[in-house]
Chain A
Amino acid sequence: MAKKTYRQAISEALFHEMRRDERVIVMGEDVAGGQGGTGQIDAYGGVLGVTKGLIGEFGPERVIDTPITESAIMGAAAGAATQGLRPVAELMFVDFLGVCFDQIYNQAAKFRYMFGGKAVTPLVIRTMIGGGLRAAAQHSQTLYSIFTHIPGLKVVVPSNAYDAKGLLIQAIRDDDPVIFCEHKLLYDTEADVPDEAYTIPFGEAEFTREGDDVTIVAFSRMVHLANQVADKLAKDGIEVEVVDPRTTSPLDEDSIIESVENTGRLVIVDEAPPRCSMAGDIAGLVAREAFGALKAPIEAVTCPHTPVPFSPALEDLYIPSAEKIEAAVRKVMEYKP
């Protein structure tokens, strides 16, 4: 099976679904690029090249470059979704959700419920999350927990190329609004990805490592750090189980609880700030549902409660690191009541 990057995997998913279903459209800023310029059309194919080539095959009626106008993009995509299209709208950086959140959380997310179950809004919003590019406070945030908070939205946080393709195809075929969060630092990571289309159901965690001593629940890029730590600690005889929920909404609560019931120890690794976060959410879940199994207090490795700093010196301190995760695991292992 071919190794493919996260970027290629997402691109393949879009090609598959656009070929399969002509109702699928892609819209956003510079998803092709070059419209109205003096040079080439498809000059960008998305700022990080993920949608390159789509306009050549599917044309400008289905691959729609928009002005910089996030509210209109999200609102138009939501409206079109209620009327039979299946838009994949791009919110380039998740930070830009501030410009257009109303259309997402007051409109798209609530149609089905408000309208008494009559509306179907098959909308996918692709967006980039995460720090590490020194892109500073307004282009580096990890905001999936904000979407997760909103009933009516499904939220996907793929950690690898294989999952990205299967989850995006699932998202496009799903009849609810789905926020698909791609981590900027994962685009060049590779995994075995089948050429064929496939789907991964929402709400099914993946166990990327199995072990009996400590459970780490990690999201998106943090899964890779958690795996590194698990591999390192295995040499010291500490068996770490790494659970990648893959979707934060729905959340595979059963897998998390089952794992903690087995290990009795939990470390949550979340690149987002700690308040009202997935880290807090999962800690609460385990405290409620698996309290009796816990052998040590729950540890959370998150960024601090600050905006994302620009300076590399500060950003490196800001993002959870393998060292911090390892320290947290050792702490729960060594805990004595």
Chain B
Amino acid sequence: MSSEIIPIKVPKWGLAMEEGTIITWHVAEGDHIAKGDEIVDIESSKIANVLEAPASGPLRRIVAAEGEVLPVGALLGVVADESVDDDTIDAFIADYQERFAKEAAEAGSAGPSPETVDAGSLTLEYLKLAPADFEGGVPAVLIHGFGGDKNNWLFNQAPLAEHRATYALDLPGHGGSTKKVDRPDLDGLTDAVIAFLDALELEQVNLIGHSMGGAVALNLALKAPDRVNAVVTVNGAGYGTAVNPDYITNFLGAKKRRDMKAAAELLFADSALVTRDMLEDMIRFKRLDGVEEALKAIAEATLLGENLPDLRARLGDIKAPILGLWGAKDQVITVPDTAALPENIKAHLFDDAGHMAHMEAANEANEIIEAFLEEQD
């Protein structure tokens, strides 16, 4: 019997999220929910996702109605044991709402903001999130894929940062990093990440790479084994499987949101996840001076035709343990036969996710990644 009242709040998915729309509740008031249950669909302007229950117990109140638009941190509902009486719960809700309104009025949520670091000839932008009150495990560096940026980890970085310092960086030619890419091949990108580790004096890290970033992570583990504690790839390149050239061509060629949509829909098993804002961000990024040239150079040097890195023969040489995660419905990079992978690679498939498995199966992926990393700490 616990008298604790646990609030369920609008989550903050990514730096830009300020509010969320309540789409569908999957549970009803009075239901007994378990921690990790999918309880409510919420949509930010960028993307929709499902919120998991933060705790187990009876869902005593649902405060936010479907269709409501609420700021990050606003109260959605409360979980509390049956022993807590209704008046206490009502008082808790009233108190929460009052404090929340007051805090919102007092200050815009001055959350962490991206920083830049000079790494060799490059300036790299990154977002650091770390536990506030303790050092945590071995830090993790998150490496996005081709055409992506640090914000691709919006569902992952904050949960992982509860346990360790996390650095989501922008690769050269991407995000807020230098757009001029002199070395667009895999070694060039890998050296950029090594320079990033040097610049931030990160001796040894866990590397979490998505897609092309997965290949960078694997390659880094080969080039600088001392720097790598563990590797996680999410629908990683480098396993010798084919990249869908349509994706690359459509992405490079897209000038309008409509054209970008055709490319972006290949990223997800559920194409409904592609929002207007997501497409707009991609288009806006591509309009920046130097981006088209950089992306084209990187695509040609690391992703297309014979230049697609095939690290299969060398994966067994990697000393660090490897966790390979795949969304089974990937339409961008063919999922390898996980049974045929070297023994040092632990594989996991998400049946209902596509290329962006860390977004589509975010909650599950976060748990698997954190459990894996904890084993290696």
Q: CB within 8 Å of B: which residues of A?
A: 162, 166, 194, 196-201, 204, 207, 210
Residues of B within 8 A of A194 (CB): 284, 288
Complexed CA–CA distance, A197 and B284 (Å): 11
B288 to chain A, nearest CB (A): 5
Please determine whether B255 and A197 come into contact, CB atoms closer than 8 angstroms: no
Say yes or no: A210 contacts B276, CB within 8 Å: yes
| Cα distance, A196 to B284, chains bound together (Å) | 11
> Across the interface, which residues of B come within 8 angstroms of A196, CB to CB?
179, 288-290
| Contacts A196-B289, A210-B276; A201 near B255 (Cβ below 8 A) | yes
**Residues of the B chain whose Cβ atoms lie less than 8 Å from the Cβ of A162:** 284
**Contacts A196-B290, A207-B257 supplied; 5 other A-B pairs, CB < 8 Å:** A196-B179, A197-B289, A198-B289, A200-B287, A201-B255
Interface code B257-272, partner A: CB below 8 Å = 1, 0 otherwise?
1000000000000000
> Which chain B residues in 280-327 approach chain A with CB under 8 Å?
284, 287-290
Contacts of B179 in A (CB 8 A): 196
CA distance A166 to B288 in the complex (A): 9
Asked if B99 is an interface residue, CB under 8 A from chain A, the answer is no
Determine if B256 is an interface residue (Cβ-Cβ < 8 Å).
yes
Minimum distance in angstroms from B220 CB to a CB of chain A:
27
Contacts of B257 in A (CB 8 A): 207
Give the one of B179, B284, B287, B289 with max A CB within 10 A. B287
13 contacts between A and B (CB under 8 A): A194-B288, A196-B179, A196-B288, A196-B289, A196-B290, A197-B288, A197-B289, A198-B284, A198-B287, A198-B289, A201-B255, A204-B256, A210-B276
Q: CB-CB < 8 A to A197: which residues of B? A: 288-289
Give the shortest distance, in Å, between B172 (CB) and chain A (any CB).
Answer: 14
Are A166 and B287 interface neighbours, CB within 8 A? Answer: yes
Q: How far is the CA of A148 from the CA of B322 in the complex (A)?
A: 61
Give the nearest-CB partner of B179 in chain A: A196
Shortest B89–chain A CB gap in Å is 31
Q: Which residues of A contact B289 (CB under 8 A)?
A: 196-199
Name the CB-closest residue of B to A196. B288
Q: Which residues of B contact A207 (CB under 8 A)?
A: 257
**Nearest 5 A-B pairs (CB), nearest first?**
A198-B287, A197-B289, A198-B288, A196-B288, A199-B287
Q: Which residues of B contact A200 (CB under 8 A)?
A: 287
Report the bound CA distance from A194 to B284 in whole Å.
Answer: 9
Instruction: Name A199's closest neighbour in chain B (CB-CB).
Output: B287
Contacts of B290 in A (CB 8 A): 196
CB distance from A23 to the nearest CB of B (A): 17
* Chain A residues, CB < 8 A from B284: 162, 194, 198
B314-352 vs A, Cβ < 8 Å mask (1 yes, 0 no):
000000000000000000000000000000000000000
**Are B255 and A204 in contact (CB-based, < 8 A)?**
yes
Docked CA distance A204–B255 (Å): 9
Bound together, the chains give a CA A166 to CA B255 distance in angstroms of: 14
What residues of chain B lie closer than 8 Å to A198, measured between beta carbons?
284, 287-289
Return the chain A residue nearest B15 by Cβ. A1
A residues in contact with B256, CB < 8 Å:
204
Chain A nearest Cβ from B93, distance in angstroms: 26
| A199 to B256 Cα, complex, angstroms | 13
Alpha-carbon separation in the docked complex, A248 to B288 (Å): 23
The chain A residue with its CB closest to the CB of B257 is A207
Chain A proximity of B305: nearest CB distance (Å): 29
B255 / chain A contacts, CB cutoff of 8 Å: 201, 204
In this complex, the member of A162, A197, A198, A199 whose beta carbon has the largest number of chain B beta carbons within 10 angstroms is: A198
Measured between beta carbons, the chain B residues less than 8 angstroms from A204 are 255-256
With the chains together, A199 CA to B255 CA distance in Å?
11
A166: B residues at CB distance < 8 A: 287
Q: Which residues of B contact A199 (CB under 8 A)?
A: 287, 289
| A201 to B179 CA separation, bound complex (whole angstroms) | 20
Cα distance A207–B255 in the bound complex, in angstroms: 14
Q: Find chain B residues with CB under 8 A from A201 CB.
A: 255
Complex Cα gap A198–B285 (Å):
9
A140 and B287 CA atoms in complex are apart in Å by: 33
The listed residue with most B CB atoms (<10 A of its CB), out of A196, A200, A210, is A196
* Nearest-neighbor residue (CB-CB) of A252 within chain B: B256
Kindly state the separation between the CA atoms of A241 and B284 in the bound complex, as whole angstroms. 21
Instruction: For residue B311, give the distance in angstroms from its CB to the closest CB of chain A.
Output: 33
CA distance A166 to B287 in the complex (A): 8
- Across the interface, name the chain B residue whose C-beta is closest to A194: B288
**From residue A275, how far is it (CB to closest CB) to chain B in Å?**
32
Q: B125 CB to closest chain A CB, in angstroms?
A: 11
